[in-house]
Structure 1
Amino acid sequence: MAQSLSATDVSVAFEGLRALSHVTLDVPRETVTGLIGPNGAGKTTLVNVLTGFQKPTDGTVSLDGESIAGVPPYKVRQKGIARTFQSGRLFSDLSVLDNLEVTGVGLGLSRREAAKKADEMLDWIGISHLAERTAGGLPYTDERRVAIGRALMLEPKYLLLDEPAAGMSAEEANDLAQLIRSIIAEVKCGVLLIEHNIGLVLTICDHIHVLDSGEVIEVGPPAAIKASERVRHAYMGTQAEAEGAVL
């Protein structure tokens, strides 16, 4: 059986407006797959399709060779597909520890088991000092780390990170890259990295998909993406250069 999270020929239309058009993407285990493109390219829509938040108009989504069409988001998570959100979506009134603990309970652990796993996860990520902090009062970058920790509860098969480096300094983005490498090495899940930080994507991803106006315009390893005139024209030559990416 194929060990991957796959979208095949996926299209999404909202009242006649096509957000995705015949998109095919494969996220293998133990690799980092990049997904880049300008604002409005359809990246988050695709993540929503992969995690059950958006039903595709056409096409299929499969988990390790098995269709997960029509599976609701909470069951998609139980099957081993975890994600973060651009907006964080932490339980702002709960402590950091409780945010992870709630996820563990939702995935079937007892309260005691969930608390233990949550504590271990915070320690593994290196943010155990935030355990008792109220999530709603966290700085933006710490919120991102907590969201990743919450998504990693019970070691998912696939982790989808939606712009995790947003607002981070170069040093913080480098720390994030190290964390993602550790996730691949120790959790052994497949990671889909959706990101506007082109330098991070080119540095850490094994394979990259480029979306523009809802269509995949290029697929390949970092060197091929970096050399692509089509990608440069559609994305890197405008927004990425403004953000300081060196091509």
Structure 2
Amino acid sequence: MNSPPTIRDILENIARVIKGKPHVIEMSVVALLARGHLLLEDVPGVGKTTLAHSLARSLDCSFKRVQFTSDLLPSDIVGVSIFNRQKQAFEFIPGPIFANIVLADEINRTTPKTQSSLLEAMSEAQISFDNKTYPLSQPFMVIATQNPAEYHGTFPLPESQLDRFLMRLRIGYPTPEEERKVLERPQSLHPAEELCPLLTAQDVLALQDQVDKVRMEESITDYLLAIVQSTRQSDLLSLGVSTRGALALSRAAKALSFVRGRTYCLPDDV
């Protein structure tokens, strides 16, 4: 009888495609288990989209990719209302935002109006359309990518949008040894497609519930709050951590503890 997959199995599954980036892989899984959203920011060609695909392929969940461009409309993400002749009524056709994992590729290439269509979904896991509210599938995670080195034809994300992301990660270039492994493996246009799903949507929800039960002592909470307060009082930072950010940091610390096999938080987790 096969044992159920563990968090370590998920990390190793993604590492079959993303070579030499254990920290980035671990933080991506932490963001998922903490019910957060992930912003991958790096130069082109280092594996941002591949990492998102690999995480999604490791889960037996619905996945949609949206290529953000300057002419993308909010309805291309949220959905549209179409008149049904048989019912003589308008019918809502859900957009890609209703998937469990949504990849917003090159998110800073679309207009602020279209970017803002993600705000309600990312903060409340629901969509409002035509005076109706539609809950999104659970688990729900937005993985966005952007290239910080190119500014021509881009629209920088506002602080209100950045605050919805639990983490902003950089993948970075691989070492020569890691790059050699990439070059020597069989070439494939879609390496993530070779991965097998290990967890169902219900498995992910169960793991997220277990993360909520991770114990955080009062001393660790005080340590976390001290960090948050220091960001608000520092002259080196233009904007301190918000209350939403403090809650996200707490969830991320618990998720990291859980990923590393503990039921309690340490200062290093924060």
Taking structure 2 as the reference length, the TM-score comes to 0.33
From the two aligned structures, give the one with the greater strand fraction.
1
Taking structure 1 as the reference length, the TM-score comes to 0.35
State which structure, 1 or 2, has the greater radius of gyration over its C-alpha atoms.
2
